[in-house]
Amino acid sequence: MEKVPLLSVENLNVEFSTPDGVVHAVNNVSFAVESGETLGIVGESGSGKSVTASSILKLNSGVTAKTQGAILFNGRDVLGADDKTIRSIRGSEIAMIFQDPLSALNPYYTIGNQIIEAYRVHHRDVKKSAARKIALEMLHRVGIPNPEARIDEYPHQFSGGMRQRIVIATALINSPKLLIADEPTTALDVTVQAQILDLMKDIQKENGMAIILITHDLGVVAETCDDVAVMYGGRIVEKATVNELFLTPTHPYSFGLLGAVRSLDNSARGELQTIAGSPPSLLHLPSGCSFLPRCGYAQQNLAQCSSVVPELEKVSPTESFSACHLRTEALISLKMKELA
Amino acid sequence: MSSEILLEGKSLVKYFPHGSKGIFGKSDGFVQAVDGVNLVLRKGQTLGIVGESGCGKSTLARVLTRLIEPTSGNIILDGRDITKVSGKELQSLRRDIQMIFQDPFSSLNPRHSVGEIIASPMRIQNIVPKGNEKLRVQELMELVGLNPEHYNRYPHEFSGGQRQRIGIARALALNPKVIVADEPVSALDVSIQAQILNLLEQLQHDLGLSYVFIAHDLSVVRHIADEVAVMYLGKVVEIARPEVLYSAPAHPYTKALLSAVPSATPRASHMHSRIVLQGDVPSPINPPVGCRFAARCWKAQDICVAQEPALGSQSFTSQPEEGLVACHFPENSN
Amino acid sequence: MTTFIARRILFALVLLAAVSLFTYLLFALLPTDPAALTCGKNCKPELIAANRVRLGYDKPIYEQYWQFIKGIFAGRTYGSGDIAFTCPAPSLGYSFNQHECVSTLIGKTFPVTAFLSLGAFILWMLLGVGTGTFAALHRGKWQDRLTSVVTSIGVSLPTFYVGLLVLFSVVIWLQWLPFPHYASPTENLHDFLTAMILPWITLAVLSAASYTRLTRNGVLEAMNEDFVRFGVAKGLKNRTVIRRYVLRAALIPIVTIAGLDFAALLGGAIVTESVFSLPGMGRLAIRSVTDSDLPVLVGTTLVAAVFIVMANTIVDIVYGVLDPRVRVK
């Protein structure tokens, strides 16, 4: 019998109507996360990764957003839940942190008040003084030096890295089972990024929470994730374990992305590997595979690639899933020819 | 490394007055954004400047381009001291040094067409190009890989990478000698970053340009630079050729910075032990007296706190070309 | 924070001194002879000369200015002997047209203007902020569109038009209210209210409309802030997020503008006071213009300027209290 995953997202579709037309931000996205594991959702800007993340907590529910599909947390339906239920999940069982630590904290309240507020929303009977003690412990845990002195300071009195620690403290104050981190280190310097990633990993080791890490940085994925979903044009194009993605990528977009990153990382001067063209507009997605205009492998299969959206299918002999009409064997032989 | 020196910064210092106290608003200190920096850019080459936020690299860029005046020190372009030029002279100097900015979204006026944006430096300088303006603009667009027929389009009709190309075309309009690029690819997606870097290298090759390339990202600079200077808290702590700097960093900070970059190879990342620096960068207002990195350095001794290390060659045995480092106990020195 | 406030107040005092000098000079340099205006058309030259001496207009300008400033703090006596008369501190001069000290005139008219401004201010802030927030929370729906249409009409109606419109419709046509006749609220509250309600509405209409727009945009902008999303992600109730996160951020810039708008009104709501014949400072100022009553003109201008400078200072300080980022460490 298969275990029920902590979170499963099935056939998620999100659309936004804008004056220019309907933006198909997320199309048929499915994935699952287990306790204690880290799932990376990687993609470039406009790939739909952030919208996918916000959907889990129903944070997209503006007038213009239309969400379809199913999101099950611990077997419970999240998408269909009423406001009260979703509020009881937000911040207590599923917490979320955002990209820019400089703007994620309310500038008008002390950091202590914000953490205490986050705790007491879900623990109404706990007195403020008791919650303050818990907040102090948490600040200490995330590495804020001298928390007793600093708990009554305002966000602008902290550096970017410290603010992200405070954001993490706020998010983790109720010991959530799942943390959604939307580009948590993108706005930070590399040395600070290393600190924050270490902190997240340490806390995960302690309390066994699951993490969904949204990022555009394959290096961050390689260092922190167990599984990865690669998104392109609002769809998942490849789903694999980290090792498989980096050693045996199965989708042409993954090839290109890895190639670009690797040539940037490793080789010295000389022509860098790129993916020609730019990502598709979510307003006008191509009718077939959305990567087709940038794909270097589709020549023999143009008819199918340009008319049918490829499904995410398991690619033997790997454990990876790939959304590409060209089967892996064909792809690998093409790749070989190219390298020769 | 013996080509002619084009742009030189000598003991550049830039302090900004900080905050104010008392009823009459007297300043209570200075942000020492750039503090005694020496740099040399040779003709046809690229000088990379790397550092984290607050290290003074963007201030240095603005000083070098004379967008702001240095507190002290000299800037020498083609043998001429340009530190104090003003008025007409400064305007004609702008032809020689152009800038490319980080944010391709806010550095282009959304109400001007691409043609107008690219032509604007020529209009400001009252230069009528051979043929006509439109021809020259279209030539520039072609040069940076844009479709010249899109002359009349507006910035919002272009993607981030294409907008950065527009910014580059604008910088090229006056045939500058030096281009100072301040984080030109930081705001772009990875697959687009590589396109822009390739373009910049191609242009350097074709037009003989010299670049000062500023970035927080070590891997980006490695690609394009002939020499890399690492900055920390207003000072250059190490300067070397990339082959040397990346394989054998001499300054502990450079080493930490390199090791912090996550590698896109999962196996490798488990093998190399990462140096995670403790704490934050100290405030640039009244920075530490001795080595500015001492408080976060695992090798620091008493001398590091007491005495500031000078930027010099790292050991008696090494060749000067191998690089300069400002550290009392550099790596790899026996 | 204390030095911040001290510096602001010092700055305000310097500014006030400059404003008083500038205002005084402006009027002193007008081509009209202030002494000639002290009595009617068929005035004897001797009387004009006597009045000139009595009012000090024979002295050099800097001396006149000094006397004027001294008068504000110490009061001022004009002439000497039996025909001497005194305006007690704070004296802003003497109006021969109205045979009163300027300060007495302003003292009589100011409460009317103050009540008018305060009532209108409360009305437009409640309406503007309330409707603006409501519209923002219903962005794109019919409620928002309706608000947008109504505010467009509101901002394009000139005050005199609104004033005459309500006056005509409510008082003359429907006869719901008697013609406004001002009474002090301590004497007759009922008359006070019936006299003030229409001017309040008139004065509030335009501002309510523009504050609705300001608030709507401010709230929408604030709702896009990351910290607001983070607040929602904490599991806070919508109401709490709106109150503690959105409105707090949206209203700070509005408070600034509101303070200045209110201060500008205190200097006299000229049009509204004229339409409803309210004996306020605006009418006093307008009358002094038509009568070339220079001392009153200088006095009212100066008082209006003082309100603006004071409001500026208070707004700056309040801003520091509301936004911790502005406070000086």
- Domains belonging to chain C, first-starting first, are 2-102 (no CATH), 104-328 (1.10.3720.10)
> CA of C325 to nearest chain A CA: how many angstroms apart?
7
Count contacts between A and C (CB, < 8 Å): 77
Q: Is A100 on the interface with C (CB under 8 A)?
A: yes
Buried b (16+ CB within 10 A) or exposed e, C97-129: bbebbbbbbbeebbebbebbbebbbebbbebbb
User: What length is written for chain A?
Assistant: 340
Could you tell me which residue, A278 or A311, shows the higher pLDDT? A311
- The H or E element spanning position C57 is none
Once rounded to an integer, what is the mean pLDDT over residues B39-62? 91
Residues of A in contact with B254 (CB under 8 A): none
B178-182 and B324-325 as β-strands: parallel, antiparallel, unpaired? unpaired
Model pLDDT, residue A96: 94
- Residue at token pair 């939307």: A182
How many Cβ atoms sit within 10 Å of the Cβ of residue A64?
Answer: 15
**CA dist B40 to B229, C29, C161, Å?**
10, 63, 70
Rg over alpha carbons for chain C, rounded to the nearest Å, is: 24
> CA of C4 to nearest chain B CA: how many angstroms apart?
7
DSSP code for B157: G
With bands split at pLDDT 50, 70 and 90, how would you rate the model's confidence at B334?
very low
Q: Is B250 exposed, middle or buried (0-12, 13-18, 19+ CB in 10 A)?
A: buried
Of the residues B205, B233, B255, B263, the best mutation for testing chain A's interface (the one with the most A CB atoms within 10 Å of its CB) is B263
Amino acid at C15: L
Span of A217-226, A321-330, B230-239, C167-176 with lowest mean pLDDT: A321-330
Query: Looking at the partner chain, which of C233, C236, C323 has a beta carbon nearest the beta carbon of A96?
Result: C233
Mark yes or no for CB contact C230/A104 under 8 Å.
Answer: yes
Q: Cα(first)–Cα(last) distance of chain B, in Å?
A: 27
Model pLDDT, residue B267: 53
ipTM greater than 0.95, yes or no? no
| Digit-coded pLDDT (tens) for A27-76 | 999 999 999 999 999 998 889 999 999 999 988 766 578 889 999 999 88
Once rounded to an integer, what is the mean pLDDT over residues B216-222? 85
- Residue at token pair 């080791």: A205
Edge-to-edge strands of the sheet including B5-17? B30-42, B5-17, B72-77, B80-81
Mark yes or no for CB contact A121/C236 under 8 Å.
Answer: yes
For residue C45, give the 3-state DSSP assignment.
helix
- Domains belonging to chain A, first-starting first, are 7-230 (3.40.50.300), 248-339 (no CATH)
Which own/partner contact pairs does A309-314 have at CB distance under 8 Å and 24+ positions apart? A309/A235, A312/A30, A312/A236, A312/A237, A312/A239
Query: Looking at the partner chain, which of C226, C229, C235 has a beta carbon nearest the beta carbon of A87?
Result: C235
Residues of A in contact with C236 (CB under 8 A): 87, 91, 117, 121
How many Cβ atoms sit within 10 Å of the Cβ of residue C183?
Answer: 16
Model pLDDT, residue A56: 92
Say how far apart CA A198 and CA B55 lie, in whole Å.
24
User: Mean pLDDT: which of A132-136, B120-124, C1-5 is highest?
Assistant: A132-136
Once rounded to an integer, what is the mean pLDDT over residues B133-139? 89
At residue B51's C-alpha, the angle toward residues B50 and B52, to 5°, is: 145
Q: Is A55 exposed, middle or buried (0-12, 13-18, 19+ CB in 10 A)?
A: buried
> CA of A115 to nearest chain B CA: how many angstroms apart?
22
Say how far apart CA B62 and CA B76 lie, in whole Å.
15
**CA dist C83 to B257, C36, C80, Å?**
89, 19, 6
> CA of A91 to nearest chain C CA: how many angstroms apart?
4
Span of B146-155, B190-199, B313-322, C289-298 with lowest mean pLDDT: B313-322
Mark yes or no for CB contact A219/B261 under 8 Å.
Answer: yes
**CA dist A333 to A250, A306, A330, A337, A340, Å?**
12, 22, 5, 6, 10
- Largest distance between two CA atoms of chain C: 84
**Does residue A281 carry a pLDDT above 80?**
yes
With bands split at pLDDT 50, 70 and 90, how would you rate the model's confidence at A267?
low
Model pLDDT, residue B172: 93
Structure tokens at B332: 């790899």
Residues of A in contact with B52 (CB under 8 A): 189-192
Q: Is A156 on the interface with C (CB under 8 A)?
A: yes
**Does residue A217 carry a pLDDT above 60?**
yes
- Residue at token pair 């009474």: C183
Say how far apart CA C247 and CA B236 lie, in whole Å.
46
**CA dist C278 to C62, C281, C300, Å?**
37, 9, 16
Q: Is A59 on the interface with C (CB under 8 A)?
A: yes
| Digit-coded pLDDT (tens) for A312-329 | 888 877 788 999 888 766
Where along chain B do its domains lie?
Answer: 248-333
Q: Cα(first)–Cα(last) distance of chain A, in Å?
A: 46
Query: Looking at the partner chain, which of B162, B224, B264 has a beta carbon nearest the beta carbon of A265?
Result: B264
Say how far apart CA A10 and CA A71 lie, in whole Å.
6
> CA of C168 to nearest chain B CA: how many angstroms apart?
47
Model pLDDT, residue B26: 56
Amino acid at C142: W
**Does residue A222 carry a pLDDT above 70?**
yes
User: What length is written for chain C?
Assistant: 329
Percentage of residues in chain B with pLDDT exceeding 90? 42
**Does residue B317 carry a pLDDT above 50?**
no
- Largest distance between two CA atoms of chain A: 69
Would you write out chain C's pLDDT as a tens digit for each of its 329 residues?
A: 777 788 888 988 898 889 888 888 877 777 777 777 777 667 778 888 887 887 777 888 888 888 888 888 888 887 776 667 788 878 888 887 888 888 999 999 999 999 999 999 999 999 999 999 999 988 888 999 999 999 998 888 888 888 888 888 888 888 888 877 888 888 888 888 888 888 999 889 888 999 999 999 999 999 888 899 899 999 999 899 998 899 989 988 898 889 888 888 887 788 888 888 888 898 998 888 888 888 888 888 888 888 888 888 888 888 888 888 876 54
Structure tokens at C51: 């009045």
Mark yes or no for CB contact B197/A273 under 8 Å.
Answer: no
Mark yes or no for CB contact A106/C324 under 8 Å.
Answer: no
Could you tell me which residue, C38 or A192, shows the higher pLDDT? A192
Say how far apart CA B321 and CA B104 lie, in whole Å.
36
Q: Which chain B residue has the Cα nearest residue C10? A: B23
